Amino acid sequence: MRALAIKEGAGELYRYRELLASLTWRDVRIRYKQSMLGIGWAVLMPLSMMLVFTFVFTRAIDARSVLNVDMPYALFAYTGLVPWTFFSMGLGGCVNSLVANRNLVTKVYFPREVFPLACIGSSLVDFFIASTVLAGLMAYFHYSGTWSCALHPAIMFVPIILCVQVAMMIGLGMLLAMANLFYRDVRQVFSVVIQLWMFVSAVVVPVPQDGSTLAKVIALNPLVPIINAYRDCILYGRVPNAAGFCYAAVMAAIFLVVGWVCFRRASFKFAECI
């Protein structure tokens, strides 16, 4: 039954694909409208965070022995910050996507899933733009002799990692958009949780490998194997750890199914609650 509901929903979204593309492009234009840097903010945000964490962990605090990173820390951090920025910005847009489009929700019929999907789609544009700087960083450290870079067949696995991350974001995005419509303080709670979430997702600090309770709890975070998978394929030239990545894929599938089914079942209440 759930599989049938998802199939019907996907078919309906395909019929409204032009609307989805239009809303995605609208979100991109609104985000950078009347901005001096424009689309450059897609690069500046993860780049500035990388510089801050690099200064903190390698200059202000000499934590290199604790970090135990066998490459330039700036490269390690930026490779985690690009998918993390995509994750946090995409979900941040999803939270308020229904409330911000109340006029469309109440007056015109079309699948309401297009709103969180458009937010994720516009953040995906930023992800691709920010990824170009990663290529530049890799080239810089390679030619400076600090780190050796070589392309490996494992890089072909990156689109699969991205698909798993997007699936997880779609499920979570729908749940957050729906929850914020019914309980408006969800947006404030999310803004706090997402900041803390980064520090337990292997974004700027590796996950402890000491077998402690903290390490085991952090390992339950499905974002950890996703972030590590990006680094494995891009920086280390190896396929991701099979057990960890399969766990992340299963969790992404669960989030997608639960989020999609709950969203569609509650969609008939959106107009009266908005």
Structure confidence at residue 68 (pLDDT): 65
Low-confidence ranges of the chain (pLDDT < 50): none
Using CA atoms, how far apart are residues 28 and 7, in angstroms rounded to an integer?
28
The total number of structural domains in the chain stands at 1
Residue 92 lies in domain: 2-273
Using DSSP's 3-state secondary structure scheme, residue 150 falls into coil
Structure confidence at residue 66 (pLDDT): 55
Structure confidence at residue 64 (pLDDT): 54
Structure confidence at residue 49 (pLDDT): 84
Structure confidence at residue 205 (pLDDT): 83
Structure confidence at residue 89 (pLDDT): 93
Structure confidence at residue 2 (pLDDT): 56
* pTM listed for this prediction: 0.88
